[in-house]
Homo-oligomer: A and B are copies of this chain.
């Protein structure tokens, strides 16, 4: 490398300009921001939101807005709250480096509002943060779908969020490097917390960490400016202790700016873990195609090529069901859909689910195809459907209209129809917004 790795990374971020960004990238960024806002609105009143708001509402501040609440707070707390809200239902988008928008958008909103940024700067922040997260994750080996048991969202999150906040704040390359140094010391999040309120908190904490890192760096706070690739830095300590020597930093540089937002970001149709989305879609198809009566099912099987430890949790009601193949697919067969209600206590305690869950097994089978297969035995007859990419998967993208409708659906219990439509319109032409003020007024119900 002719120039230090972190320096090249920082120069890339500084150079991102919305006028030189492809329209496809900008459109995906807008849809991602809109989708985040919808999932955050839908997260209001859920468990993680409740306890966190209980504490945050004790603090006052005048810097940034919380989605759905008229009261403003500080930039850090707004990022913490909005990040957690957006991931409360596990309904938000997903990327190689974890859940992308819940660790990018809260930082954009908090720093953007605090520093009076324009919509076009927001888009630059989104794209550059996405590229940084993608580049870093793409050169590290991934075991058990995560990095030695830690949650990608939590470990790539602070860097990604710091990039977003740093771009918004116009940090110099040196400041950006210091922000990353502060950020890596906040990379955290164990996967053992999947299925609990603490998983959405990973997104909130990562969002907060990045904003804090960027703000401290801009005040002269010091850190290891080579922490991304230094021997005792991020890659070595947090991501890949045993594979450090294999990491191809040159490739990470090459990965930057190749329009990854539009080519790799996946959206979700169902409010639960990403991996089961295809199986749910297939279960609904099976139900529709065969008109089968759930009570007649003799046995049910999901066979998948990769079965993560954290996706084998037994459903225990509330959010835990979101990470259970059994629970999500069984509900899809019984109800023909999977919604927020699917994970309510009422849904979980239904007696009709029990016999179906008892006849249901989930197995790891390397020969089950790229995404696996759903097998049902009914009246001696066997139905076997390959699991296909669910809508929103990068191989089966959702259209802009579908994503806008998802937002309208999510916003409906909180915002009136007029306001929801105005938000869609404003976000979809974000580059025309001179400042975030009026958008945040709408989202926080102040107007």
Contact = CB atoms under 8 A, between A and B. Distances in A.
Interface of A: 47-48, 50-52, 54-55, 58-61, 63, 74, 76, 148-151, 154, 181-182, 184-194, 196-198, 201-202, 205, 212, 215-216, 219-224, 226-227, 230-234, 236-238, 241-242, 309-310, 318-319
Given A191-B237, A192-B227, 19 more contacts: A47-B220, A47-B221, A50-B220, A55-B76, A58-B61, A59-B59, A60-B61, A148-B237, A148-B241, A149-B241, A181-B192, A182-B198, A186-B205, A190-B234, A191-B232, A192-B224, A198-B224, A231-B309, A232-B310
Contacts of A59: 59-61, 74
Contacts of A198: 181-182, 185, 221-224
A183 to B, nearest CB: 10
A358 B191 CA distance: 48
A150 to B, nearest CB: 5
B231 A192 contact: yes
Contacts of A192: 181, 184, 224, 226-227, 230-234, 236-237
A345 to B, nearest CB: 13
A182 B48 CA distance: 12
Contacts of A230: 192
Contacts of A190: 184-185, 187, 224, 227, 232-234, 236-238
Given A189-B185, A227-B192, A219 B51 contact: yes
Nearest to A242: B242
Identical subunits present: 2
Nearest to A60: B60
A234 B150 CA distance: 9
A236 B146 CA distance: 13
Given A192-B227, A193-B227, A201-B185, A47 B237 contact: no
A3 to B, nearest CB: 19
Contacts of A318: 222
Given A189-B185, A192-B232, A310-B232, A58 B63 contact: yes
B149 A232 contact: yes
Please name the 10 residue pairs, one residue from A and one from B, whose CB atoms are nearest each other, closest first.
A149-B237, A192-B232, A192-B233, A51-B219, A188-B188, A51-B221, A198-B223, A196-B222, A148-B241, A190-B237
A235 B348 CA distance: 32
A426 to B, nearest CB: 28
Contacts of A151: 185
A226 B58 CA distance: 30
Contacts of A194: 232
Contacts of A310: 232
A404 to B, nearest CB: 33
A212 B56 CA distance: 11
Most chain B Cβ neighbours within 10 Å, of A191, A230, A233, A310: A191
Nearest to A225: B196
A181 B222 CA distance: 30
A332 B416 CA distance: 70
Given A58-B61, A61-B58, A190-B237, A220 B51 contact: yes
Contact of A188 (B63, B181, B186, B215): B186
25 contacts: A51-B219, A51-B220, A59-B74, A148-B241, A181-B193, A182-B193, A184-B193, A185-B189, A185-B190, A185-B198, A185-B201, A185-B205, A187-B190, A190-B224, A190-B232, A192-B233, A193-B223, A193-B227, A196-B222, A197-B222, A198-B223, A198-B224, A222-B318, A231-B309, A232-B309
Contacts of A242: 241-242
A150 B196 contact: no
Contacts of A55: 74, 76, 212, 215-216, 219
A33 B436 CA distance: 46
Nearest to A219: B51
